Amino acid sequence: MNDVILRGRLLTFHDEPFGNEDDQRCFTYLEDGALLIRDGKIAAVDEFAAIQAGGGEDIDVIDHRPHLILPGFIDCHIHFPQMQVVASYAGALMEWLNRYTFVEEQKFGNQGHPEMIASAFFDELIRHGTTTAAAYCSVHKSSAQAFFAEAHARNMRMIAGKVMMDRNAPDGLLDTAQSGYDDSQALIAQWHGKGRQLYAITPRFAPTSSPEQLEMTGALVREHPDLHVQTHLCENAGEIAFVAELFPWSRDYTDVYEHYGLLGRRTLLGHCIHMTDREIGALAESGAVAVFCPTSNLFIGSGLFDLDRLRQGNVRNAIATDIGGGTSYSMLRTLDEGYKVLNIQGQRYHPLRSFYQATLGNARALALDGVIGTFAPGAEADCVVLNANATAAMRVRMATVETLVEELFLLQTMGDDRAVEEVYIAGKGAKRALKQRV
């Protein structure tokens, strides 16, 4: 048997906590809790004494007390080919794309490059406690091959796709409507549902796809209705004006995706900052997800995500790093920046809600609740172990912390990869093993 028991201070969510500490229904917190993991899945979750009494005496126990154990973090929007784009000194989106991003992504056509970056990419996710991501690969089929091969070898639950883009970018980054369709089909056949891998149909964004390519993207969606779709929407004023020029018949940016049949409950839309009321209504009706990318929105100067307005409009939401427009791989840093973006707009983002969002909330956004983001029995045993005393400054602040909520807020405000003690991928320790590899 592959059983193992993880002992520690367990925190797992059942629902979105809207208010405060009193929202006890929404989460389970066990001061001396344990997870019984069998064959990579959660077999039981309870007080440690109960797990032990239930037949756990002979099973290996890994004791993480006094640290917190949560379901692994989920990042709903990240660009695998942009590890070497992070920290590029650009102004707004279009300059950032043309001067840095499109230049860098061309290197993924070079032999060996995608494999080299894939190895570094998954090391970095693990280091930061991220166990699932919805990722964009480059236009090259080989970049998606390298991504999935590495994720599969590490048994990580990933969602990814090669970007389709057939105009308004350098030649080295263009496919065609036909080759984008064919390559996506081949990658779906090879990778979707293999181990823990899931394919996402990935038109980069409306400005880089011809009407013909968007038609064929719609065909892919019709042929594979269970697949995710990911793209960008309403990030920047210049981008929105460009879309209006390219698609003069459209009512707005969202209308382009609607027209080609790309909106649905598995559609992930990065940014969604500059939205009209009509667009919010269209997202709500389709069940598509608006993905909040706070570090990226600030770094590229795109604007402030209006979570309250989207939620009042019944739009589903998620949170993400958006590396390499984003500036940190850490979901803790991302929650912190998200808090600031909302606070400056007079919106409150309670720490319980932040940690819900980075776990079960993002799992729900990906329609993977019950599979990841929870310690409910039957779920995949991806976990992150968090240490709120990871640095000297955190230790000084922790000395005055009295409640779980205060500890969570400290973790998101001061924490980064140093606060991630260990990470489990389907029940197997991954972060400490990583250090030994280096």
Interface residues toward Zn ion, by CB under 5 A: 270, 322
Q: Which of Zn ion, ligand GUN, none lies near 204, with the C-beta cut-off 5 to 8 A by kind? A: ligand GUN
* Identity of the residue, 87 or 392, whose beta carbon is nearer to Zn ion in the bound complex: 87
* Identity of the residue, 132 or 296, whose beta carbon is nearer to ligand GUN in the bound complex: 296
By Cβ distance, which residue is nearest to Zn ion? Answer: 270
Cα 301 to chain centroid, rounded: 21
* Identity of the residue, 95 or 115, whose beta carbon is nearer to ligand GUN in the bound complex: 95
* Identity of the residue, 258 or 322, whose beta carbon is nearer to Zn ion in the bound complex: 322
Q: Which of Zn ion, ligand GUN, none lies near 150, with the C-beta cut-off 5 to 8 A by kind? A: none
Instruction: State the nearest-atom distance from the C-beta of 60 to ligand GUN, in Å.
Output: 43
Q: Which of Zn ion, ligand GUN, none lies near 431, with the C-beta cut-off 5 to 8 A by kind? A: none
CA distance 180 to 140: 9
Q: What DSSP character marks residue 40?
A: T
x-or-dash pattern for ligand GUN, window 242-281, by CB under 6 A?
----------------------------------------
Show the tokens assigned to 180: 């984008």
Q: Which residue has the tokens 């779980």?
A: 404
Long-range contacts of 427-433 (CB under 8 A, 24+ apart): 427/2, 427/4, 427/37, 427/38, 427/39, 427/40, 427/41, 427/381, 428/40, 428/155, 429/62, 430/126, 430/154, 431/126, 431/127, 431/129
Amino acid at 217: T
- By the rule CB under 6 A, 325 interacts with ligand GUN: yes
Which burial class, exposed, middle or buried, applies to 105 when counting CB atoms under 10 A from its CB (0-12, 13-18, 19+)?
buried
Instruction: State the nearest-atom distance from the C-beta of 97 to ligand GUN, in Å.
Output: 6
- By the rule CB under 6 A, 140 interacts with ligand GUN: no
* Identity of the residue, 144 or 383, whose beta carbon is nearer to Zn ion in the bound complex: 144
Instruction: State the nearest-atom distance from the C-beta of 253 to ligand GUN, in Å.
Output: 12
Whether the CB-CB separation of 69 and 88 falls below 8 Å is answered with: no
The 10 Å CB-count burial string (b at 16+, else e) for 378-391 is ebbbbbbbbbbbbb
* Identity of the residue, 322 or 417, whose beta carbon is nearer to Zn ion in the bound complex: 322
Q: Which of Zn ion, ligand GUN, none lies near 252, with the C-beta cut-off 5 to 8 A by kind? A: none
Instruction: State the nearest-atom distance from the C-beta of 200 to Zn ion, in Å.
Output: 12
Q: Which of Zn ion, ligand GUN, none lies near 243, with the C-beta cut-off 5 to 8 A by kind? A: none
Q: Which of ligand GUN, Zn ion, none lies near 371, with the C-beta cut-off 5 to 8 A by kind? A: none
CA distance 413 to 407: 10
C-alpha torsion sign, points 351, 352, 358, 364? negative
- By the rule CB under 6 A, 232 interacts with ligand GUN: yes
How many CB atoms within 10 Å of residue 25?
Answer: 9
Whether the CB-CB separation of 221 and 211 falls below 8 Å is answered with: no
Query: Is residue 101 classed as helix, strand or coil in its secondary structure?
Result: helix
Q: Which of 7, 9, 67, 79 binds ligand GUN (CB under 6 A)?
A: 79
Q: Which of 142, 286, 296, 327 binds ligand GUN (CB under 6 A)?
A: 296
Instruction: State the nearest-atom distance from the C-beta of 126 to ligand GUN, in Å.
Output: 23
Cα 337 to chain centroid, rounded: 15
Stretch (H or E) spanning 33: strand 27-38
* Identity of the residue, 326 or 373, whose beta carbon is nearer to ligand GUN in the bound complex: 326
- By the rule CB under 6 A, 101 interacts with ligand GUN: yes
Instruction: State the nearest-atom distance from the C-beta of 219 to ligand GUN, in Å.
Output: 22
For residue 392, is it left (φ>0), alpha (ψ between -120 and 50) or beta?
Answer: alpha
- By the rule CB under 6 A, 205 interacts with ligand GUN: yes
Instruction: State the nearest-atom distance from the C-beta of 269 to ligand GUN, in Å.
Output: 11
Interacting span for ligand GUN (CB under 6 A) from 61-69, 93-101, 341-349, 399-407 = 93-101
* Identity of the residue, 321 or 387, whose beta carbon is nearer to ligand GUN in the bound complex: 321
3-state helix, strand, coil in the chain (%, to 5): 45, 25, 35
- By the rule CB under 6 A, 322 interacts with ligand GUN: yes
* Identity of the residue, 267 or 296, whose beta carbon is nearer to ligand GUN in the bound complex: 296
Whether the CB-CB separation of 334 and 294 falls below 8 Å is answered with: yes
Instruction: State the nearest-atom distance from the C-beta of 322 to ligand GUN, in Å.
Output: 5
By Cβ distance, which residue is nearest to ligand GUN? Answer: 325
- DSSP string for residues in 420-432: EEEEEETTEE-HH
Which residue(s) pair with 145 in the sheet? Answer: none
- Binding positions for ligand GUN, rule: CB under 6 A: 79, 93, 97, 101, 204-205, 232, 235, 296, 322, 325
